[in-house]
Copies of this chain bind each other. A is one copy, B any other.
């Protein structure tokens, strides 16, 4: 009998979302049960279909229900039939902002057996944790347009950065860095150009860093960091950065660790004021949707991040071990498996550890 029940909102979303989430739930269920955790899911149909039917991206009643859950598990949102930005801003970013997911946690790890596009790079070279700010910066939605459609049109886009917002995510990053073997934190910004925001980030890292003397602090301009992700990824341990820079460098992180099919993420409210949300970094991939071709691994790994957040790290480690073993044999056999088969195999590998 389960000692504890987690109320989990499931948002399969668009495209391959429902396929990968189904496998994620399968693996999550097995791992959770081993630690007496019951997962009580409620599915919400949000995304392109709902928008076409009702014009809504996140009805207030749904938002209110989501808020009562312990966590959210999201597949992917986005469809070519919906104008760019509508679902991203109206659903995905709205959840991140409304539920104050100020930490967007993105591990960048090269698993043994996975081929990196980088020559001569192995698992020992890439093991970082990117802590991306999730609730401000250029994602604030501030800005506007004047004289639209005329030769004198001007469009602005404002990055909003607060001490409150920067300090809390920087502190989170230091906490993470302090318990990792290398104890290194790199701030990524562009303080020689974005001087107002950059100075705030630099000063905050310096001040908060004084509380963590065991953590060594480094700084890298975002352009240099983008380059180093490719030619010196071993430089990085924990990286803390702004919302937009984090968006960009974590996609490079996904690329160097074998692609977006393996990249997991957690949109976390560390204070637990609101439910945190876990999702793969990849999108809805409408071109391969419904064909059983999607790799559910990123979604499965996002469930591990969820279990860490829910305080069941042993279960998270088992999922990671299952993924690690699966990726190793995958490299050897080269057999093509369907989304469901990969999910089944991962669930079986977690079960073996029980």
Q: Please determine whether A158 and B155 come into contact, CB atoms closer than 8 angstroms.
A: no
- Contact status B223-A248, CB under 8 Å: yes
Q: Please pick, from B155, B164, B192, B252, the residue contacting A200 in the complex, using a CB distance under 8 A.
A: B155
Q: With the chains together, A199 CA to B119 CA distance in Å?
A: 38
Determine whether A63 belongs to the interface, using a CB cutoff of 8 Å to chain B. Answer: no
The chain A residues found within 8 Å of chain B, CB to CB, are 78, 84-85, 88-89, 93, 115-120, 138-139, 141-145, 150-164, 190-200, 222-224, 226-228, 230-231, 244, 247-252, 254-256, 259-260
Total identical chains: 2
Contact assessment for A227 and B200 in the assembled complex, using a CB-CB cutoff below 8 Å: no
Report if A190-B158 is in contact (Cβ < 8 Å); known contacts: A143-B197, A231-B255. Answer: no
Pairwise interchain contact B164-A117, C-beta atoms closer than 8 A: no
A156 and B154: CB pair below 8 A? no
Q: How far is the CA of A156 from the CA of B200 in the complex (A)?
A: 10
* In contact, A192 and B119 (Cβ under 8 angstroms): no
Tell me the minimal C-beta distance from A256 to chain B in angstroms: 6
**Minimal beta-carbon separation of A120 from chain B (angstroms):** 8
Distance (Å) between the CB of A227 and the closest chain B CB? 4
User: For the complex, what is the distance from the CA of A184 to the CA of B88, rounded to whole Å?
Assistant: 28
Contact partner of A230 among B138, B191, B194, B256, CB < 8 A? B256
